[in-house]
Amino acid sequence: MANDTSLFLGQFLRSPGTIGALAPSSQRLAAAVCTPVPERGEPTVVELGPGTGPFTAEIQRRLAGRGHHLAVELNEAMAALLAERFPAVDVVNGDAARLPELLAERSLGQADVVVSGLPWAAFPQQLQLSLMGAVTSVMSHAGAFTTFSYVHAIPLSRARRFRALLSERFEEVVAGRTVWRNAPPAFVFHARRPRPRTELPSTMA
């Protein structure tokens, strides 16, 4: 939507380190990122950095009224838009680092799926570690985590560090095919089964 693109661009110019994109993700990328959302049961799905909601819409389509969909958005304007656009979604204007607290407040226990739209490659190491620690601490052992990276960011040191962090924190990490019909082109990381803290190397614990 044109209005969404304008909002995204405006918020990016205000805070490029937290928005990380000039425009919303495409429907094709949303479909690839949200693949792990189960088609049955009552799953707890956590969405980080939903922005204007392209992943949110796909998650809601897949859930079809089941489970609990918690969306955590740091940007106040985007969180307000999201809450208005998706009244069935539990939208929180807050920090993803508070995930354990947010789930505890709702008596949700552990998350079955965590879908992330956060710009991991834009984050410094300490923030990557802090956020990933919050993510893995709320996931079930069989849980799935998905996020994406822009193709042009592959050579960046922060992007390489994030890829290494995924391998440290999850037993299985698979990079999906490139979604060329996205601006800019992107590919998806599918990670499963977070490692127990006792298995982590001392440098990453």
pLDDT digit string, tens, across residues 54-98: 999 999 999 999 999 999 999 999 999 999 999 999 999 999 999
Residue 170 backbone dihedrals phi, psi, to 5 degrees: -130, 150
Q: What is the pTM of this model?
A: 0.86
pLDDT digits (tens, 9 = 90+) for 100-130: 999 999 999 899 999 999 999 999 999 999 9
Q: What is the pLDDT of residue 197?
A: 72
CA distance 196 to 19: 30
Q: Is the pLDDT of residue 19 over 80?
A: no
Distances in whole angstroms, Cα of residue 55 to Cα of each of 44, 58, 105, 130: 15, 5, 24, 23
Q: What is the pLDDT of residue 165?
A: 97
Tell me the sheet residues that pair with 175.
189
Tokens of residue 145, six digits: 């985590």
Helix axes 76-85, 2-14, angle to 10 degrees: 160
Question: Is the torsion defined by CA of 171, 69, 131, 176 positive or negative?
Answer: positive
Place of tokens 């998706």: 86
Q: Which residue type does 180 have?
A: W
Please count the CA atoms within 13 angstroms of the CA of 58 that sit on its side-chain side: 21
CA distance 202 to 204: 5
8 Å CB contact between 5 and 19: no
Least confident among 6-15, 125-134, 181-190? 6-15
Q: What is the pLDDT of residue 13?
A: 41
CA distance 44 to 46: 7
Tokens of residue 56, six digits: 């949110």
CA dihedral (83, 84, 89, 91) in degrees, to 10, reads: 0
8 Å CB contact between 189 and 182: no
